[in-house]
Amino acid sequence: MSDDLLPGFAPHWIDTDGARIFARSAGAGPPLLLLHGFPQTHVMWHRIAPRLAETHTVVCMDLRGYGWSGAPRGDAAHEAYSKRAMGRDAVAAMEALGHVRFAVAGHDRGGRIAYRLALDEPGRVERLALLDILPTFAVWERIRAGTQPAAHWAFLSRPEPVPEEEIGRDPIPYFEGLMAKWSGTGSLAPFDPRALESYRQGCNEPSRIHAFCEDYRAGSEGGTDVRHDEADMAAGRRIACPSLVVWSAGYLRRPGAESPLETWRRTFAPDIGGAELPCGHFVAEEAPEDTLAALSEFLAA
């Protein structure tokens, strides 16, 4: 299926310390890693990755627990799905493909891995683009302030096996219901049917459902990812490389809350640039030309 959506992208299987990672790559030029979000796969980049590969060596990677990558069991502390651990997968995958330093763009959960990687290993990340996310600890600030509902954040991070069992009774309607709700149209119309089939294959299996929940448990209030964020804030660590945030008018911007640009500048990226797009959460699929233009300008600067 991804062969149809990403023609000319070579497949790779890469063993890391924590999982076997699947990726596809194409193009020539400076290396660029693309990290997808929940509940998707590397296929979400299909409308812009081929164009980016005209100027860059593009690597589209399935996160651990997603797509065709390995889905290790979670642990008591949820460290296996911390964004720090998933960032190590990204480093291992890029090194296996010959790239020690690279630009990275991440959407949703992939963006959380991307900014964590930029904080943990600043020598690796040359440029950082974040698509429709806020720092994890700042999401919980919004939830506590009542400007963002806890919704799936609270549900998916509940203790095992409660969400796994509930979702497992009929997983595809659950995940597609979220995607429809978060899209600008309130439906699945923005998505290519072939991409939807890839997402269905990647979520309709117990080990994947468990991995998704572990991903959110790692990012729960007071969880591993939040503790990492708070430790970096307390230590005054900031993202050192040029950075960009692109956010959706239809999802991330919330009444009564500061703008995504303000949040990033207040926290980890004082000099970050940004742009708002007139679409729902899935910016690379709903507004591919605008997303491509923002990324291309940023990467060429």
Distance, in Å, from the CA atom of 298 to the CA atom of 301, rounded to the nearest integer, reads 5
Confidence of residue 254 (pLDDT cuts 50, 70, 90): confident
Helices then strands, counting H and E runs in the chain, come out as: 14, 8
Whether the per-residue pLDDT at 1 is higher than 60: the answer is no
Is 12 among the residues known to form the active site?
Answer: no
pLDDT of the residue at 71: 97
CA 265 to chain centroid, in Å, comes to 20
Q: Residue 132: pLDDT band by 50, 70, 90 thresholds?
A: very high
State whether residue 224 is helix, strand or coil: helix
pTM, two decimal places:
0.97
* pLDDT surpassing 60 at residue 78: yes
Smallest Cα–Cα separation from 10: which of 97, 105, 114, 71?
97
What mean pLDDT do residues 39-64 have? 98
CATH topology of domain 2-300: Rossmann fold (3.40.50)
Instruction: For the chain, give the percent of residues with pLDDT over 90.
Output: 95
- Write down the H helix ranges in the chain: 2-5, 49-52, 83-96, 109-120, 136-145, 151-156, 162-168, 171-182, 193-203, 206-218, 224-235, 260-266, 283-286, 288-300
> Of 108, 132, 215, 229, which is the active-site residue?
108
pLDDT surpassing 90 at residue 104: yes
Say if residues 114 and 283 touch (Cβ distance below 8 Å).
no
Concerning whether 107 is annotated as a catalytic residue, the answer is no
Question: What average pLDDT does this structure show over 114-121?
Answer: 98
3-class DSSP state for residue 62? coil
Positive/negative CA dihedral, 35, 38, 44, 48: negative
CA distance 155 to 178: 13
Strand partners, 100: none
Over residues 207-223, mean pLDDT: 97
Cα end-to-end distance, the chain, whole Å: 34
Amino acid at position 290, single letter: D
pLDDT of residue 3: 65
User: How far apart, in Å, are the Cα atoms of 106 and each of 78, 155, 276?
Assistant: 21, 23, 16
Which of helix, strand or coil describes residue 238? coil
The token pair at 149 is: 């509902």
